[in-house]
Chains A and B, each alone.
Chain A
């Protein structure tokens, strides 16, 4: 038993915002109330701290199986725990691709042995994520996947997207799409604009993403099925999602911390600024922040994409896309969205908890009988992020050395403290 005392409990589902004690018993929350006592329970004093439902990350790459040089389930989930995440959804672009039940089972088994937090695998939509034949989605669902995606690439054609959405929806599974138009993307290395022209880097126009989002919204209109847009990064993409929501379509989207923090003007020849989708324009960033505040965006997701140092220590156009993200997500959210006055703290908590939970069709709240997954954090703790100290195997983050105000202080999964600062 674990008694968490004197924390400011923030629960977006019940709109709770008050100082309360929580008693965790086994894997569940046993009691919620003021001045709780429990004989024999370990006590965690959360005075001055926020106690929130456990954070969920809808989008990460744990690289296992197959790319263990960059990350493993063990190292990645330790980094996730340090970032306050209690559950992470791992994308299927491993080696081999998670496109069948035996790979899914192996991920679930490895996670059971070595993970610090819950790992919810996402299965490939098509075999090998090649965009041709449907993967064994029902069998993967039985083995534990929570969604399907060909992440790293868009689901290749409108026809395949239609089939995947109809079939996955019949199984109660979410389809997540990484939206880009390959012909417009065309070997690009960063967002097209004055900065790409200045640096002489091949540019990717914003329509590479929004054309594909538009296509997917049209398929959602055709099928009525669930659709989730991964790492949405442009104003036009968001307008497509807004339109779909206004029409009552079951369409959701996520935004990453780096897209609401940085813009293409920050890009230099440092490969830690190379990610896909690329950092967008100032106007796009403003649109994303607005969407995060007004509910058009459903969740913040990290797109934690570790790459071992040697693979990123190359010429910009040859470097792989992606940055790590678990450990800086909350601090960036606090700085860019809450401390800056763009939204109340409760909304930020929602974007990390009940927001992503609803995308997945699960519950995430602080209530008696709910899973004892909690994120305890400070909005004032001053610290500097040092990539070298991360449990992740990779160091590819532009936020190395940044000073922050606010950080995860303890992460509780299934009633156990898996990280404390």
Chain B
């Protein structure tokens, strides 16, 4: 057992041992997803606040389902329905949630660093469900779990991440995680979305602007969504992106024959990925979704679970 983490804010600060620990802890929860009755009592009586200050469907449902399958209750807050629109600050909103005494808060926010900011001011664990263009740690863990299952180990693999790296929190968390295991990472995308300084984020990082070259010999291809909502600079014409960077069956042949194709979703078919690749035999997109549940259950169990704290002694007169 590792000492319990206070929060899960990102992958960057985790050690290889901690990552392995979480991947191992997710194992039984992977099995569990196949049970006919998917309810544990592990976190019965616990409450997990799921606060999403940015639109999301799959990550929110995944966390809510993970909590409920562990037996915890959830409190949901969505930006659209909250008082944020009325001008309340993030801290005030979060303190209000805290006053309802949840045991942890799962936070998704469009500002990079929002979970760090909240965690430094709250007592309860904060679990980062994606912050701005910073990190998305549970996505990287579920990706690693998927790769480890299929490839046996992470060490020595060649993994290509394809798309808008600059604006991708998924890419950052994956870079931090994979580089801790000695994975050779190739980043590929249109030049302005793959800045040179990215190579300073981790060792063994290679930048390639040619998709054919980037895919050569890859064991895994992680395709990112083109995040049109985050792009400040003039956007690239979709046809231009498709011509240069769409993952097509022909291009995929450059990778190893048994290469995995992954996508964090939501996927835009016909833009970053060709439909036949998305649905093809090498695709693990749906497996990623199922593994997401297992990883999130393992993390919630780690951050919230464990023996209940002793009830305080009754006052003595």
Contacts and interface: CB of A to CB of B under 8 A. Distances in A.
Contacts of B134: 199-201
Interface stretch (A120-128, A137-145, A307-315): A307-315
Interface stretch (B21-29, B35-43, B108-116, B288-296): B108-116
Nearest to B199: A194
Contact of B197 (A193, A268, A310, A318): A193
A200 B89 contact: no
Contacts of B131: 200
B233 interface: yes
Nearest to B121: A313
Contact of A197 (B91, B117, B198): B198
A200 B111 CA distance: 9
Most chain B Cβ neighbours within 10 Å, of A192, A193, A201: A201
B228 to A, nearest CB: 16
A194 B232 contact: no
A310 B92 CA distance: 11
Interface in B1-51: 12
A194 B89 contact: no
Nearest to B131: A200
Contacts of A193: 197
Given A314-B89, A314-B90, A194 B200 contact: yes
B91 A313 contact: yes
B232 A310 contact: no
B133 interface: yes
B149 to A, nearest CB: 28
A316 B109 CA distance: 12
A200 B135 contact: yes
A202 interface: yes
A199 B113 contact: yes
A283 to B, nearest CB: 14
Contact of B90 (A187, A194, A315): A315
Contacts of B169: 200
Interface in B53-111: 89-91, 109, 111
Contacts of B114: 315
A313 B232 CA distance: 25
A392 to B, nearest CB: 22
Nearest to B232: A186
Contacts of B112: 199-201, 269, 316-317
B244 interface: no
B113 A269 contact: yes
A192 B200 CA distance: 13
B263 interface: no
B201 interface: yes
Contact of B113 (A187, A194, A202, A315): A315
Interface residues of B, number: 26
B132 interface: yes
B195 interface: yes
Contacts, number: 64
A264 to B, nearest CB: 11
Interface string A295-317: 00000000000000010011111
Nearest to A193: B197
A200 B112 CA distance: 6
Interface of A is mostly: loop
A268 B112 CA distance: 11
Interface string A307-344: 00010011111100000000000000000000000000
A202 B109 CA distance: 15
A247 interface: no
B200 A201 contact: no
Interface in A148-189: 186-187
A198 interface: yes
A148 B135 CA distance: 44
A109 to B, nearest CB: 35
Contacts of A316: 111-113, 117
A201 B91 contact: no
Contacts of B225: none
Most chain B Cβ neighbours within 10 Å, of A200, A201, A269, A313: A200
B172 interface: yes
Contacts of B233: 186
Nearest to B165: A197
A198 B200 CA distance: 9
A315 B119 CA distance: 12
Interface string A29-60: 00000000000000000000000000000000
A315 B12 CA distance: 20
Nearest to B135: A200
Contacts of A201: 112-113, 132-134
Contacts of B197: 192-194, 197
B100 to A, nearest CB: 22
B111 A315 contact: yes
Contacts of A317: 111-113, 132
Most chain B Cβ neighbours within 10 Å, of A198, A310, A315: A315
A225 B198 CA distance: 43
Contacts of A186: 232-233
Nearest to B115: A269
Nearest to A313: B91
Nearest to A189: B112
Interface string B126-152: 000001111100000000000000000
Contacts of B91: 313-314
A318 B111 CA distance: 8
A193 B201 CA distance: 10
A197 B232 contact: no
A308 to B, nearest CB: 13
Contacts of A269: 112-113, 116-117
Most chain A Cβ neighbours within 10 Å, of B113, B131, B195: B113
A269 B114 CA distance: 8
Given A194-B197, A314-B91, 18 more contacts: A186-B232, A187-B232, A197-B166, A197-B172, A197-B195, A197-B200, A197-B201, A199-B112, A200-B132, A200-B134, A201-B113, A201-B134, A202-B232, A269-B116, A314-B90, A315-B113, A316-B117, A318-B111
Interface of B: 12, 89-91, 109, 111-114, 116-117, 131-135, 166, 169, 172, 195, 197-198, 200-201, 232-233
5 contacts: A186-B232, A197-B166, A197-B172, A200-B135, A315-B111
Closest 8 pairs (CB-CB, A-B): A200-B134, A269-B113, A315-B111, A200-B112, A200-B133, A194-B200, A194-B197, A269-B116
